């Protein structure tokens, strides 16, 4: 068998360590991919698949991308959840003996990208690692772009899944023996890319960032993440911040389903931010503020003191409109300090970034002054560190409009570095000399159009048009280049100056690059201070954002009740209200207390039941993140958890049916809710047959009422359930009012006490413009069914009477001493067949209409 060429052998050796990544193998100006990588990449990136001879028996599939265009291809692969290993030539091909040495210099993965479309300014990009212990699971999170590190202990896998989902971690690092079922859930539910790392010990270089981390389990989990980052990034991680331990019980628990249902950070339909609560709230002016806002929305607080501290600051900002507006203007000028710190550590900032940094820092004294005038003990007591020394340094060093490239000079200011100034003088003097030479030559020769120019190939030259050539003195000018209408010349003195200028320029570029690298190293020392400043500014940004939204949308400051009472006056759904804009949103009250824990909401479809339920939950969430709420008055308990079952979106990703999802969500609520929780169940039991669904709905209501005592809003179209009002002491009926006008239903969206008086399904179908003939037929069927129901009820009553009689007669039979055995009635074959058919009928799966038809057929058989 033929053996592969040395280059392909080298490729295969490197590839063996990066099985789960596309290996971008540098060959000259291209990154090439081979074998399976090439086949897959050509499909994913829609690039041409070719092949080459690699010494083996068959040609090797190959595809490649030009070196300079690689970032956009890498980005495409990362966005699809893949990993890319960058393999560079690590020695000069001219020096190499045999195959040029090549090594992987970085593994880019969804959780470790530092730039590109996968990153959003206002979203963190977390990578997670998990370690399972006996009963609990350690979780570590890191955002490489900002340097933030978090660790927590989850008490079970569901809790862990919720965390991963809510922070949106794109990649999860685990050990090889991680349970398969869990892996599947991470991929299906969180769309996470999985990576493996066995090593969990933390190298001594990183001891400084461990801070208060004493729990072995957390150290080990974080160690796994850190080792993975070191192994894949192979560069400075100096910007990693102190690890912060957080406790899940410090925030309101909202499970994965409920977060999705309530559309806190993205909508169910488009999966985008627009239309979500986060979208409504986002009046932040900085990217850092935007990220913190998302974190706060994801984790409402449960500690009253902390919530009230935020609310007080919001109140201060509302009361001081002008200061707030000034702050907003100043914040707008603040660059993303956290991500900048990350890029400084990674060594990929440019001079423009540093100018932005300087400009940001220059805003801080004014923000500080503004905060002093506002006085707030919690958020404004400490002074903001404007890193004045750093901003002065940058002011002295870098010009106002530097180029993007850091390798072409024109970055440093004059006067910053003596040697640089000298080179620049030489270069500038040379250029002035050349300008003067042009004048002298024109005078000497009398050629007005004579000019001195420069190009990379020929250097400086004197250009004379063909018509004027005879005016040049013989023997002085050396011909260099001939153009159609002109000739270009040089002179010995021009050549000499050229050498001086070019040498100076080369030195300038080299020195400027070196000075920039030194400056970058100096900025690195400020990373921890910049990170603290970033955190303080982002908090101020989110709090001013709450104040701005609250004032613009006329929200009120919530009060937290000492009892468990909830009272919302004129409550609105914040997002629906905003979207409706000019149209009038109808405000509604909600009242719950110890004797009124559950509300059973009836009313026609589309009347506003689910909007009403959501608005109660969103009001509680807004209050607990420290924002005002959409109501004219709100007294609220502090909820420990919110559970929802709203909407009937099939969970297509995990392939579960609507009904299964419904039941999973119900189970989740029932298993975890406490008396301090809020449960919203919208139309539960709808996904199965009528009796099944109604039975389940009632059993669920009874269970919550008797066993849990959570505040519950339960909407239903099963009218039959409204009788529970009389049976369960703290359940009350309410309904959304609708009226009929000229035979059509008009929704008033107004909540009133008591059950709704009828169902309006056909009217809604009419509103949806179903064909008139169909609507007419539905109305006929409805009246037939209603008539039949009446009939059945009468029959049932009669049957009961008959059964009573039978029971009596049986009693009397039993009383007899020698009872005569009752003779079984003899049935015809037809009758027996009908009985068998009756027995085999699955009533729970039939609509009343089907049942009627079947009965009719059966009756016909034996009549």
Residue ranges that bind ligand ADP, judged by CB under 6 A = 576, 585-586, 588, 603, 605-611, 749
Q: Which is nearer to ligand ADP, 359 or 553 (CB)?
A: 553
- Contact call for residues 458 and 464 (beta carbons, < 8 A): no
Q: Per the annotation, does 606 bind a ligand?
A: yes
Q: Which is nearer to ligand ADP, 471 or 580 (CB)?
A: 580
Output the smallest distance, CB 727 to ligand ADP, in A: 24
CA distance 565 to 410: 67
CA distance 621 to 639: 9
Q: Per the annotation, does 359 bind a ligand?
A: no
Q: Per the annotation, does 610 bind a ligand?
A: yes
Output the smallest distance, CB 749 to ligand ADP, in A: 3
Q: What is the largest CA-CA distance in the chain?
A: 154
3-state DSSP call for residue 263? coil
Output the smallest distance, CB 649 to ligand ADP, in A: 13
Output the smallest distance, CB 577 to ligand ADP, in A: 8
Output the smallest distance, CB 584 to ligand ADP, in A: 7
Q: Which is nearer to ligand ADP, 126 or 612 (CB)?
A: 612
3-class secondary structure per residue, 434-488: HHHHHHHHHHHHCCCCCEEEEECCCEEEEEEEHHHHHHCCCCCCEEEEECCCEEE
Q: Which is nearer to ligand ADP, 358 or 609 (CB)?
A: 609
Output the smallest distance, CB 726 to ligand ADP, in A: 24
Q: Per the annotation, does 632 bind a ligand?
A: no
Q: Quick one: DSSP state of residue 707?
A: I
CA distance 621 to 264: 9
Q: Closest residue to ligand ADP, Cβ-based?
A: 608
Q: Which is nearer to ligand ADP, 185 or 610 (CB)?
A: 610
Residue 318, beta-bridge partner list: none
Mention every residue, 6+ apart, whose C-beta is less than 8 A from residue 150: 140, 141, 142, 243, 244, 245, 246
Find, among 226, 205, 241, 238, the residue nearest to 347 by Cα.
Answer: 238
Q: Per the annotation, does 603 bind a ligand?
A: yes
3-state DSSP call for residue 534? helix
Q: Which is nearer to ligand ADP, 299 or 609 (CB)?
A: 609
Q: How many CA atoms lie within 13 A of 296 on its CB side?
A: 28
Q: Per the annotation, does 459 bind a ligand?
A: no
CA distance 538 to 284: 9
Residue 142, beta-bridge partner list: 127, 149
Q: Which is nearer to ligand ADP, 64 or 630 (CB)?
A: 630
CA distance 452 to 350: 34
Query: Helix axis angle, 321-332 relative to 304-319, nearest 10°?
Result: 100
β-bridge pairing 451-455 and 711-715: unpaired
Output the smallest distance, CB 764 to ligand ADP, in A: 8
Q: Per the annotation, does 733 bind a ligand?
A: no
Q: Per the annotation, does 607 bind a ligand?
A: yes
262 alpha-carbon distance from chain centroid: 15
For residue 451, what are the CA distances in angstroms to 114, 431, 448, 478?
49, 14, 8, 15
| Burial tier of 438 (Cβ tally within 10 Å: 0-12, 13-18, 19+) | middle
Query: What is the CA angle 699-702-708, rounded to 5?
Result: 120
Q: Which is nearer to ligand ADP, 106 or 611 (CB)?
A: 611
Q: Which is nearer to ligand ADP, 233 or 605 (CB)?
A: 605
Find, among 440, 545, 536, the residue nearest to 491 by Cα.
Answer: 440
Residue 674 dihedral angles phi and psi, to the nearest 5°? -125, 180
Residue 154, beta-bridge partner list: 137
- Contact call for residues 239 and 263 (beta carbons, < 8 A): no
Output the smallest distance, CB 613 to ligand ADP, in A: 8
The DSSP annotation for 741-808 comes to: ETTEEEEEEEEEES--S---HHHHHHHTT--HHHHHHHHHHHHHHHHHHHHHHHHHHHHHHHHHHHHH
Which residue ranges make up the annotated binding site for ATP? 603-610
Which residue ranges make up the annotated binding site? 603-610
């Amino acid at each position: 068998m033929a053996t592969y060429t040395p280059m392909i052998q080298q490729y295969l050796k490197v590839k063996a360590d990066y099985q789960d990544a596309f290996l971008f193998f540098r060959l000259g100006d291209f990154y090439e991919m081979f074998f399976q990588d090439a086949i897959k990449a050509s499909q994913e990136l829609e690039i041409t698949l070719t092949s080459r001879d690699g010494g083996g028996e068959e040609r090797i599939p190959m595809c490649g991308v030009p070196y300079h265009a690689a970032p956009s291809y890498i980005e495409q692969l990362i966005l699809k959840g893949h990993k890319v290993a960058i393999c560079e030539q690590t020695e000069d091909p001219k020096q190499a003996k045999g195959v040029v040495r090549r090594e992987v210099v970085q593994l880019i993965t969804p959780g470790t990208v530092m730039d590109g479309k996968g990153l959003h300014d206002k979203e963190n990009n977390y990578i997670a690692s998990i370690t399972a212990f006996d009963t609990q699971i350690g979780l570590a999170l890191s955002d490489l772009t900002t340097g933030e590190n978090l660790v927590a202990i989850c008490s079970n896998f569901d809790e862990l899944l919720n965390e991963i989902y809510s922070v949106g971690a794109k990649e999860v690092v685990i050990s090889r023996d991680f349970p398969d079922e869990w892996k599947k859930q991470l991929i299906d539910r969180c769309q996470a890319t999985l990576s493996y790392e066995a090593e969990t010990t933390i190298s001594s270089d990183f001891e400084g960032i461990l801070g208060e981390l004493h729990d072995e389990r957390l150290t080990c989990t974080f160690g796994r993440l850190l080792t993975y980052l070191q192994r894949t990034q192979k560069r400075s991680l100096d910007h990693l911040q102190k690890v912060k331990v957080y406790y899940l019980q410090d925030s309101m628990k909202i499970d994965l389903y409920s977060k999705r249902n309530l559309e806190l950070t993205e909508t169910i339909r488009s999966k985008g931010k627009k239309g979500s609560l986060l979208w409504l709230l986002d009046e932040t002016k900085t990217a850092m503020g935007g990220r913190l806002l998302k974190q706060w929305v994801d984790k409402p607080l449960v500690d009253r003191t902390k919530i009230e501290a935020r609310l007080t600051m919001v109140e201060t900002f509302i009361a001081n409109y002008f200061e707030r507006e000034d702050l907003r203007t100043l914040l707008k000028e603040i660059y993303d300090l956290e991500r900048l710190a990350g890029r400084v550590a990674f060594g990929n900032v440019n001079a423009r970034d540093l100018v932005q940094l300087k400009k940001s820092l220059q805003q801080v004294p004014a923000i500080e002054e503004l905060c002093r005038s506002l006085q707030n003990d919690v958020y404004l007591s400490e002074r903001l560190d404007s890193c004045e020394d750093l901003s002065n340094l940058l002011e002295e060093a870098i010009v106002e409009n530097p180029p993007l490239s850091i390798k072409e000079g024109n970055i440093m200011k004059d006067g910053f570095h003596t040697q640089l100034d000298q080179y620049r003088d030489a270069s500038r003097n040379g250029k002035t000399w050349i300008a003067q030479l042009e004048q002298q030559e024109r005078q000497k020769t009398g050629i007005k159009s004579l000019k001195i120019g420069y190009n990379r190939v020929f250097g400086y030259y004197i250009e004379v048009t063909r018509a004027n050539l005879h005016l040049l003195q013989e023997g002085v000018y050396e011909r260099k280049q001939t153009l159609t209408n002109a000739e270009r010349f040089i002179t010995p003195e021009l050549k000499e100056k050229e050498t001086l200028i070019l040498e100076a320029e080369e030195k300038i570029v080299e020195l400027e690059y070196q000075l920039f690298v030194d400056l970058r190293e100096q900025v690195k020392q400020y990373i921890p201070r910049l990170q603290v400043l970033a955190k303080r500014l982002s908090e101020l940004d989110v709090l001013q954002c709450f104040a701005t939204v609250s004032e613009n949308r006329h929200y009120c400051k919530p009060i937290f009740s000492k009892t468990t009472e909830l009272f919302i006056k004129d409550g609105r759904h914040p997002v629906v209200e905003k979207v409706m804009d000019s149209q009038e949103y109808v405000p509604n009250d909600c009242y719950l207390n110890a004797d009124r824990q559950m509300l059973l909401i009836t009313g026609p479809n589309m009347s506003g039941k689910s909007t009403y339920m959501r608005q109660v939950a969103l009001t509680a969430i807004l209050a607990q993140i420290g924002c005002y709420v959409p109501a004219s008055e709100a007294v609220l308990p502090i909820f420990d958890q919110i559970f929802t079952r709203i909407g009937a979106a099939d969970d297509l990703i995990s392939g579960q049916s609507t009904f299964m999802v419904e039941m999973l969500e119900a189970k989740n609520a029932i298993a975890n809710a406490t008396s301090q929780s809020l449960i919203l169940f919208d139309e539960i039991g709808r996904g199965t047959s009528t009796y099944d669904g109604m039975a389940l709905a009632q059993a669920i209501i009874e269970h919550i009422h008797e066993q849990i005592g959570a505040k519950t809003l339960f909407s239903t179209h099963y009218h039959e359930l409204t009788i529970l009002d009389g049976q369960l002491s703290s359940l009350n009926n309410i309904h959304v009012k609708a009226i009929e006008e000229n035979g059509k239903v008009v929704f008033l969206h107004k909540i009133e006490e008591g059950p709704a008086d009828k169902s309006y399904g056909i009217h809604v179908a009419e509103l949806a413009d179903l064909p008139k003939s169909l609507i007419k037929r539905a109305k006929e069927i409805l009246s037939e069914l209603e008539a039949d129901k009446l009939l059945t009820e009468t029959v049932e009553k009669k049957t009961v009477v008959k059964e009573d009689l039978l029971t009596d007669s049986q009693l009397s039979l039993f009383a007899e001493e020698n009872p005569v055995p009752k003779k079984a009635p003899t049935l015809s074959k037809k009758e027996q067949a009908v009985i068998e058919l009756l027995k085999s009928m699955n009533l729970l799966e039939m609509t009343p209409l089907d049942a009627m038809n079947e009965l009719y057929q059966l009756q016909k058989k034996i009549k």
